[in-house]
A and B are shown apart, each in its own frame.
Chain A
Amino acid sequence: MHKEFLMGNAAIARGAIAAGLNVVSGYPGTPSTEVLETAAKTNDGSLYVEWSVNEKAALELGAGAAYSGARTMVTMKQVGLNVASDPLMSLAYIGVKGGMVILVADDPGPISSQTEQDTRHFASFSKLPCFDPSSVQEAYDMIQTAFEFSEKYHTPVLFRPTTRVCHGYASIEVKDESECIKNQPEGFVRDPSKWVIFPRLSYAAHMHIEERNKELSDVFSDSGLNKVCPAKGCKKGIATHGISYTYVSEALEGKENVSVFKVGTPFPFPEKAAVEFLTGLDEVLCIEELDPIIERELTYVCGKYGLSTKIYGKLTGNVKTAGENTCASVAENIADFMGWEKPAKTAADDVPPLPVRPPVLCAGCPHRASFYAVKQAMKGKKSVFCGDIGCYTLGNAMPLDMVDTCLCMGAGVNITQGIGKIEPDTNCFAFVGDSTFFASAITGVVNAVYNQADMTLVVLDNSTTAMTGHQPHPGTGRTMMGQVVDKVNIEQVLRGIGVQTVETVDPLKLEEAVACVKRVSAEKGVKAIIFKSPCAVLIKGKAPAVIDHEKCVNCKKCINSLGCPGLVIKDGKVSIEASLCTGCGLCSQVCPFGAIGGGEDAE
């Protein structure tokens, strides 16, 4: 053992490697992304690592590897599990040979997600065991235990950290190379009675799963994964989990007379441990993030075992029902419950108005140019602009204001199709990024073509998965194993599925881009524009733009049309923020007075 300072996600990857990991696949998504990236970085060549095209593909690949005896991890964020839920539900019945951990990172807040869904529900829905770590060290240790359970019980298991565990850092004890397990997969052993799902097999599997989960509830109760810390003579207790457990520990520092129940395996729920905790207590407060799962389980356990303990939490209005917990919110919940004096609030009422710093598209981002070109081309025409998931969702901000809808990965294509069916006189657009296109928009385009939609697909191709930190995808020609491979060509894909008009244009050449949008959108049926220009963060920018203050009349058209962080007002005059400007040249094409030079135009 030795000490290292690791991010939670890195600790999870390193723990999995210490448990003999052979294969890891996933799709990027905050807060899960760094797990797979760490595995790839620490790969000594014995590990197979891939960013799959989406979570469903990742899970199916993982299943195949686990059927073959490999220890396998599949990584995703919580909404990614929705995409992977089809194979998940069936795989729960089929089971695995090699240990298989499905890492699903939840995002209370939500800080960077569409929903606050709770993967612990998916655990009980799919009947799969679930592990819920509360710290970086516990995440490192617990994922190794998760692999053991998975292999012992021949079932995939869910491992569910939340953002604050994933992105927290701590100095932790990690195994030396020599202490790590090496797993040699046996290979796939043909057995149709085992690997082919059929109704009769499913009935037997269902019976078995229910028996197994009953057994696991007892095993988990005694395992140390769930902790009951009784306090002598105490009539009140707190049940908690995950990062909230650390907030509770913080709030109870130096205090006595409160029993604590830490739930590390929310499913199957450790009933025996729960009864041990509840016995003798009058009241229990459940401090949870996302859904009141422990609260419902404890309420159920009280009914089942005839205990008179009163259970409080989100369902009783004692803890807020949405958003993440904090040290402060938990301290307040506990003070209310215990009848303690509440921590004093900092009541400074003379705070000056603080500048708001919302996230915006970067200076030089080609998406800004793409949105602006479509906006110009469609000026005065009835149009709808359906957005999608990625950096380009930020195109909704003023002054671009070019995102009318955003739902989930790839949804924009068929949402715009649906709007078009009701409003045939509307120019329907769907904007989708290159990574999202591969992940889940292709089938949507097939649907639109087949069902005679009238719409323009706009692919914003910046040749990377920018939002989650620049992961490669099928269009980039690079893999996580370091190979350089043939790129999957978006234009050819679209032509192959029957889109007759596909034009590729550089959005930073504004005039051409506007003309292209006018021309293509005027056609009937499904047609596509590919705005191709690399992510501004990944390229070496050109010299910053320069404003000719002789010509500039301070009309601010550049600022008010583009909202680029590189355009600022200094001493009352429009100026270039040279530290941000990439010289993309968009503003010089927008300026009616030819006052902006440099950058693209510089020789």
Chain B
Amino acid sequence: MQNNILITGVGGQGIVLTSKLIAATAMAHDIPVMSAETIGMAQKGGSVFSFLRLGEGLHCPMFPEKTADIIIAFEPAEAVRMLGYLKDGGKVIVNTHPIMPVTAALSGSSYNGTEMMDYLERHVSDLRKVDGEAACKAVGSPRALNMIMLGQAIRCGVLPFTIDDIEQTMKATVKPQFVEMNSKALRME
């Protein structure tokens, strides 16, 4: 049994930590894991992704197009950008709140995410939309987005873990003062 997971978004949204938590949880369950992600200059406001693979017999951290079981997208356009990796019938969990590129103000771009959401609606049969902004407000922290998205991903049943499993790893990873906020985020319906 293998799982190919693609996490995507914009630098600064907490994608790398999300990937690390899934990997650590897999390790705790004796599941082999590999990952690869954007590192360096592109992290600054650029498109960021993390490829994550769980299971036996893995060759490389990156997986071919059309093989992701799930795409966890923290931003609508980034979901569209990476959609070629989704396998037929795969799941997409997307935060509907768009992030303007830092150069949008200069170029006069009117990007607001609606075109991207329309595209996803047309092309993804199993699409779960998350209003990340509203959910963060409900949790009480703009930094809760990654745990909200991760909680949603766990809940849809593709990953071989429960929320409790992830929560246990999270408690061992984040600073004590952030545990409560992150637990709340993981459990946001």
Report A's interface with B, CB cutoff 8 A. Answer: 3-5, 30-31, 111-112, 135-136, 164, 167-171, 243, 246-247, 249-250, 253, 326-328, 331, 343-344, 346, 348, 350-352, 354-360, 362, 398-399, 467-468, 556, 559-560, 563, 565, 567-569, 574, 579
Chain B, interface size category, equals 35 or more
Closest CB of chain B to A250's CB: distance in Å?
5
* Residue of A136, A344, A356 ringed by the most chain B CB atoms within 10 A: A356
Cβ contact of A171, chosen from B27, B45, B80, B142, cutoff 8 A: B27
Cβ contact of A168, chosen from B36, B64, B105, cutoff 8 A: B36
Q: A327-B60, A579-B142 are in contact. Are A354 and B105 (CB under 8 A)?
A: no
16 A-B pairs whose Cβ atoms sit less than 8 Å apart in the complex: A4-B27, A168-B35, A168-B36, A169-B23, A169-B36, A170-B32, A170-B58, A327-B64, A331-B64, A350-B119, A352-B119, A355-B104, A357-B10, A567-B105, A568-B100, A568-B105
Residues of B within 8 A of A348 (CB): 83-84, 123
Residues of A within 8 A of B26 (CB): 171
Residues of A within 8 A of B123 (CB): 348
Is B157 positioned at the interface, with any CB of A under 8 Å from its CB? no
Q: Is B45's CB under 8 angstroms from A357's CB?
A: yes
Cβ contact of A354, chosen from B36, B44, B65, B81, cutoff 8 A: B81
In the bound assembly, the distance between CA atoms of A379 and B77 in angstroms comes to 39
Residues of A within 8 A of B32 (CB): 170-171
Q: A167-B39, A346-B66 are in contact. Are A560 and B111 (CB under 8 A)?
A: no
In the bound assembly, the distance between CA atoms of A355 and B112 in angstroms comes to 10
Q: Is A568's CB under 8 angstroms from B106's CB?
A: no
Q: A170-B34, A343-B66 are in contact. List 15 more A-B contacts (CB 8 A).
A: A5-B24, A112-B40, A135-B60, A164-B61, A167-B36, A168-B36, A170-B58, A249-B60, A253-B59, A355-B100, A356-B103, A357-B10, A358-B46, A359-B45, A574-B105
Tell me the nearest residue of chain A to B39, going by C-beta. A167
Q: Is B66's CB under 8 angstroms from A358's CB?
A: no
Q: Is B102's CB under 8 angstroms from A169's CB?
A: no
Closest CB of chain A to B165's CB: distance in Å?
15
Q: A135-B60, A253-B59, A354-B81 are in contact. Are A565 and B45 (CB under 8 A)?
A: yes
Is B116 positioned at the interface, with any CB of A under 8 Å from its CB? yes
Q: A135-B60, A164-B61 are in contact. Are A359 and B80 (CB under 8 A)?
A: no
In the bound assembly, the distance between CA atoms of A408 and B88 in angstroms comes to 46
Residues of B within 8 A of A3 (CB): 27
Residues of B within 8 A of A111 (CB): 40
In the bound assembly, the distance between CA atoms of A4 and B30 in angstroms comes to 11
Q: A164-B36, A357-B47 are in contact. Are A398 and B60 (CB under 8 A)?
A: no
* Residue of B80, B100, B105, B106 ringed by the most chain A CB atoms within 10 A: B105
